[in-house]
Structures are given as C-alpha cells and as structure tokens.
Amino acid sequence: MSTATSTLSGAAQPTQPTASSSARKQPRRRRSGRFIASTSVLYAILAVIAIVYIFPFLIDVATSFKTDAEAASDPLSLIPQTWTTAAYERLFLNSDFPTWFANSAVVTVFVTIGRVFLASLAGYALARLDFRGRNVIFAGLVAVMSVPLVVLLIPKFLVINQLGIYDSYAGMIIPLLVDAAGVFIMKNFFESIPASVEEQARIDGAGTFRIFWSVVLPMARPALITIVILSFQGSWNELSHFIVSTQSPELTTLTKGVASLASGQLSQGTQYPLKLAAAAIMTVPVAVMFFIFQRRIMNASEGAVKE
C-alpha cells in the first residue's frame, strides 16, 4: 500500500507546476498589457506633436496653390477650392527669384566647403596638437558660442566695410567661413578617436598633416556630415549677415528677397500665396540635403560600431 501510495503521489506531482505556471503567466499578461497601453499613449503624444509641427508646412504648401482671395478668406484650409500656379508663375516670371536662388546657392556651396575644411583643421589642432595657449583659445571659442549673433552685426559691418569687401561675394562668404560650433564638434570627435591609430601612422613615417588628411579625417565622416548639414542649413537660411553685408539688388539672396515680398513688391494685398510659394521652394534644398546625408550618417555610425 505504501508503494502504491507513493506511486500515486508521484504521479500527481506534475500537476502542481501547471497551476503555478498559470499563476505566473497572469503577471506577465498584466505587464504586457501595461506595456501596450503605455506605448499607445506615447505614440499618441508623438503623433500630436508631429501634427503640430507638420500642419504649418501643409498650410504653407496648400496656400501657395490658392488664389489671393481664397488665401485671405480661408487661410487654414488644406485643400484649395481652386488650384492655381499663379503664385509660382509670378515668382519666376515677374520677380528676381531666379537671381535670389542663384546667389543663395553660390554662397551656400562656398560657405559649406570652407566651414568643413577650416573646422576640421581647427578641431584637430585643438584636440591633438600640444601648443601654448590651446586652452585659452578653446575657452574663447566657447565664449564666442554664447554671444548672441545680433550683438555682432554692427562690428561685423564695420570690419567688412574697412576691409573693402562690402557689397560683394567676398563680404557675403568670408565672414561666414568660421563657425565656432563646427570647431567644437570636430574637436570633441577627434578626441574620441584612439591616439594609437595616429601613433602607428607616425611610426610608418607619416607627418602631422598626412595623419590628419589620410588617417583621422576619413574616420570623422559622421562629424563631417553633421557639419555639412548644419553649415548648409545655416548659410541657406542666413538673413541678418546679408542685410549688413550687401545692398545691391544683384546680390540679393533668397532670404532677403522673400522678406522683401512682405512690403508688397510685386502687387498689392496680402500676397499670401506668393510669400508661401517662395517659402515652400526654399525648404526643398535643405530637406533634400538632410534626407540624403541622414542615411549616410547612419551608415557611417554602423561602420564605426563594427570596427
């Protein structure tokens, strides 16, 4: 009897973990339910924020295809009652918009190339070269970043005028070539690169500039692409500097030209479609640049992790 009892009790034992396992599944289900609920709330909040940011741009694009009367009477509608390209026709046929676009393109290309090159050189020098006054220069760099740009407008005008480059491409480009934020970003990135990489190249007989150009700079692609995006966006959208550095209509940039539309340059009235059509066109190069280089930033970061 004892043997049979032990056998029966042994056969009955496996049923106990089943009850305990089902009891354990309940907290897991509760946790998964809470996770789904919290995730849904988070996505809902992000969707609302996205709508807040995207809605003005959609209004911009929609209004550019409206008539002046419809834009004034119903400015928040996303679907125009009468689709028209009159605003774009006036921009390209009855204004100097192509000249504005060309001037902005020339300045942006030269400023972007110059900023990337100079910021890389200065950042590498502050990160790797040991020279007297390096810390003082870096402190001054950080101090310049904290100064509002509006404060520097009058001194910038005086310097440009004194150098004899006022109202010229040189006056538009040269003062924008140096960017303290770009130097700061490149310095921090170069400091994150192991010094052993440069020591190996130095043992092989490479000089300082050779190490910078052939060894360190290719490893800094994520930082370089970041500087390209920031420089392109900053110089393309720059306004205050061009106000104090130029006055000729032939050197007017997009930002100055679009700002002048507010004074009724082409016609009377609010001209909402005209202004917003110009603003919509202005956003295209920056958006294309960002989406192209965003993918390259991700690929460069993945390559750095794999190494």
| Helix locations, the chain, DSSP H | 2-12, 15-64, 68-73, 86-93, 97-128, 134-145, 153-163, 169-173, 180-192, 195-203, 208-210, 217-219, 221-236, 240-245, 254-260, 272-306
pTM, 2 dp? 0.77
Every domain of the chain and the residues it spans = 95-266
Residues 81, 63 contacting (CB under 8 angstroms): no
Residue 187 burial by Cβ neighbours in a 10 Å radius (0-12, 13-18, 19+): buried
How many angstroms separate the CA atoms of 38 and 27, rounded?
16
Give the position of tokens 């995006």. 229
Instruction: For 245-296, write each residue's pLDDT tens digit.
Output: 999 999 999 999 888 876 655 555 567 888 889 989 999 998 888 888 876 6
Please report the pLDDT score of residue 302 as a whole number: 41
Quickly name the fold that domain 95-266 has. MetI-like fold (1.10.3720)
Mean pLDDT, all residues of the chain? 83
Residue 187 near residue 220 (C-beta atoms within 8 A): no
Cα 75 to Cα 80: distance, rounded to the nearest angstrom? 10
Q: Which of 53-57, 153-157, 240-244, 262-266 has the lowest mean pLDDT?
A: 262-266
